[in-house]
Amino acid sequence: MEIMKAVLGLEDGQFVVGKGFGVEGECSGELVFNTQMTGYMESLTDPSYVGQILMFTFPLIGNYGVDRENFQNPHVCARGCITKEICEKPSFQPSIGSFFEENCLLGMSGVDTRALTIKTRVYGTMRAALVVGSDDGDYAASLACRTPSISDIIPIPEVSCKEPYHIYGSGKRIAVLDLGMKKNMITSLAKRHGDLHIFPYATGSDKILACKPDAFLISNGPGDPKQATDAIKCVKDLLGQVPIFGICMGIQVCALALGGETYKLKFGHRGANQPVRFKDGRIFITTQNHGFAVDAHSLPEGCRVSYTNVNDNTLEGFENQDLDVTTVQFHPEAHGGPRDTEAHFFDAMFRRLS
């Protein structure tokens, strides 16, 4: 089989040439890296990667093929995939190469991902362009320069549900604002018998209250949280009226609704090995995928930091008992990744509502 050319161009003019897989074409977005050793399909189908080209630091992906049962969205959400090597003869079929080809996706292997990761850690995330079927680095770099920054796009409508829907459960009624929710978040709520009412990103507070929820949950999602203006207004309107929980982008939306601030991280937290310290001193290993964070010092009176990232001391969770707000920056539903915090977060959530 003929090897396809491929090239990745960066906004600073650098480019790297590798081997293409999938189909010929081009894409552009923010180049980000993920440190997970497994769960490559969970990452590629995570809606929070919309607008980004995903690079894996682990040198080989695809060794166990493509397992659709673990998809977090029916489709791959990352705009492109960069890896050092893909496994051509996995333990299960289809291979990631054939899956990319069948689904008209763009990927590049044969890349020194370690060097690109180190560069990202030094200089921060960059806009990038992946061109499969060509090795024209100057063109790829120029395409990267023309790519909007992650804060200049509004990707949430692409991955939020289009209409409200209901998943019956015999337990507490949870209204969920879908900003690009991972499937396993629904799984974690449903297995605790939550009666789930899922709403699109632009839903107003009146429609949330109309379903008479016992709690309101704001999900993860892609892009800059300051662009989630409808969600911020909805949370602001509901503060003090119903218990509110936020996960990933949900924490950022809650902070902005309370008058706090968010900021862009230099290279973000993406992987399944992020340690966080709970307020009682316990350490949990968590799955994370975010490029923005809440400024802990900007939170108003009444808010208390509940989790802190052990690596860089960024805020990983806060609560406001007066307004009944509980949030985490990491993914307690995980998948793929450690399950350290699934019961810790979701069981505590349902106990509080009982």
Q: What is the pLDDT of residue 3?
A: 85
112 confidence band (pLDDT: 50, 70, 90)? very high
Q: Which CATH architecture has domain 4-152?
A: 3-Layer(bba) Sandwich (3.50)
DSSP 142-165: HHHHTSPPGGG---HHHHS-SS-E
pLDDT of amino acid 314 = 98
How do the domains of the chain map onto residue ranges?
4-152, 156-353
Q: Report the chain's mean pLDDT, rounded to a whole number.
A: 96
Q: What's the pLDDT at 84?
A: 98
Q: Comparing C-alpha atoms, which of 288, 212, 204 is closest to residue 252?
A: 288
Query: What per-residue confidence (pLDDT) applies to 2?
Result: 67
pLDDT per residue as tens digits for the range 137-182: 999 999 999 999 999 999 999 999 999 999 999 999 999 999 999 9
Which CATH architecture describes the domain 156-353? Answer: 3-Layer(aba) Sandwich (3.40)
143, containing H or E segment: helix 137-145
What is the predicted pLDDT for the residue at 339? Answer: 84
Radius of gyration from C-alpha coordinates of the chain: 20
The model carries a pTM of 0.96
Asked whether the beta carbons of 130 and 6 are under 8 A apart, the reply is yes
pLDDT one-digit tens code per residue, 184-234? 999 999 999 999 999 999 999 999 999 999 999 999 999 999 999 999 999
Share of the chain above pLDDT 90, in %: 97
Would you name the residues annotated as active-site residues?
A: 248, 331, 333
With 60 as the cut, is the pLDDT of residue 292 above it?
yes
